[in-house]
Amino acid sequence: MSAAPTILPRSRVGTFADRLRAGDQFAYTLTLVCAASIFLVTCLLVYELWIGSALSREKFGWNFIFTSTWDPVREDFGAVPFMFGTVVTSLVSLLISVPIGLGAAIFLSEMALPSISDTLTFLIELLAAVPSVIYGLLGIFLLVPVLESVVVPVLKGTLGFLPIFSGPFYGVSLFSASVVLSVMIVPFIISVSREVLLAVPVDQREAALSVGATKWETTWQVVVPYAKRGIYGSIFLALARALGETMAVTMVIGNTPKVQTSLLGPGDSIASVIANQFTEATSDMYISALIELGLVLFAITIIINGLARLLILTTGGRVAK
Partner 1 sequence: MRNRRKIVNIVMLSLTGACTVVIIGILLVILGYLFWNGARYLTVDFFTKLPAPVGESGGGMANAIVGSGKLLLLAVLIGVPFGFLGGVYLAEFGTGIFPSVVRYMTDLLNGVPSIVIGIFAYGVVVARMHHFSTLAGGVALGVMMVPIALRTTEEFLRGVPQSLREGAMALGASKARTIATVVIPAAIKGIFSGMMLDLARVAGETAPLLFTSLGNRFWSPGWDKPTSALPEMIYHYAISPYDEWHRQAWAAGFVLLTLVLLVNIIARQVLARTSHAG
Considering only residues 126 through 165, tell me which ones interact with partner 1, judged by CB under 8 A. 126-127, 129-134, 136-138, 140-142
Residue 75's CB: how many other CB atoms inside 10 A? 15
The answer to whether 31 contacts partner 1 (rule: CB under 8 A) is: yes
Q: How far apart are CA 319 and CA 80, in angstroms?
A: 32
The piece of 57-65, 163-171, 257-265, 305-313 that touches partner 1 (CB under 8 A) is 305-313
Which of positions 255-284 make contact with partner 1 (CB under 8 A)? Answer: 271, 274-275, 278-279
Q: Out of 55, 83, 94, 124, name the contact with partner 1 by CB under 8 A.
A: 124
What is the DSSP code string of 244-305? H--HHHHHHH-------S-TTS----HHHHHHHHTTT--SHHHHHHHHHHHHHHHHHHHHHH
* Interacting span for partner 1 (CB under 8 A) from 62-70, 74-82, 158-166, 242-250: 242-250
Q: Which of residues 51-90 bind partner 1 (CB under 8 A)?
A: 51-52
Long-range CB contact pairs, 23-32, < 8 A, 24+: none
Nearer to partner 1, 44 or 162 (CB): 44
Nearest distance from C-beta of residue 178 to partner 1, angstroms:
15
Q: Which residues contact 312 (CB under 8 A, 6 or more apart)?
A: 192, 196, 229, 230, 233, 234, 237, 318, 319
> CB under 8 A: which stretch of 31-39, 59-67, 69-77, 147-155 binds partner 1?
31-39
CB of 291 to partner 1, least distance (A): 6
91 binds partner 1 (CB under 8 A): no
